[in-house]
Amino acid sequence: ILYEVNLFSAELFIERFCMTGGNSPIGYLKAYHTNLYLSADPDKVHEALEAGIAAATMFTPDKMTEVSETQLRVAFDGDAVLFSDESEQIYKAHGLDKFFEHEKAHENRPLDHGPLKGFLEVLGKLQKKFYAKGRRMDCPIRTYLVTARSAASSGTRALKTLRSWGLEIDEALFLAGAPKGPMLEKIRPHIFFDDQMFHVEGAAEMGTVACHVPYGIAQRVARKGGKDKETSPVVK
């Protein structure tokens, strides 16, 4: 993970870093074998995503929720984060009913990968090292899928996609359009990724470190409301 920080204020043990004299560090990310790039600069995040690096704009709340000191908890949205924005495009272009029809018809066809699939893969590889030592139940890494999809209408495809990739998610939470903030307050993840600023802001208000993934059609379509595809056809 490469995270832009103020080296004089962050309480981090840093062995690798690059000083670029004001130039963008993005060109060095692949050379550093970067699995995740976090920055407060959205332009650099866009540049990293275009270079094929998992990246997100980080928002740190003024008052952070207390989190576990023994287990790293990472929460992901699904569409346009772990998965592509294929289904989101159907929803934006044709509405909620067509979205449901499309997901049902393509239930057994895996979604294409999204920008953070590779990061989930890396976490999974780390988890398997603990599983091999008999530590599945007390693994120090736990992953969550927190999605606006509903289990009955569109969640099945998400789970089948992960299975087809050979990836596990520890907990999958299908909210059917309900706000994500209360669920995140219960999970207390160390970090949460979503492509919708509405959810990122809601998570930050709950004291969660939230990261915006500026990927997919939702970034190109003007938002006219705050509800998700499971409850309203109004564009977010």
- Enumerate the active-site residues: 77
Task: Give the DSSP letter string of 74-93.
Answer: EEE-TBTTTB-SHHHHHHHH
**Residues linked to residue 142 through DSSP beta bridges, in sequence order:** 73
- SS3 letters for 138-189? CCCEEEEEEECCCHHHHHHHHHHHHHHHCCCCCEEEECCCCCCHHHHHHHCC
Amino acid at 93: A
**For residue 216, what are the contacts with CB-CB under 8 A and spacing of at least 6?**
79, 80, 84, 85, 88, 89, 114, 195
**Assigned token pair, 161:** 């996609």
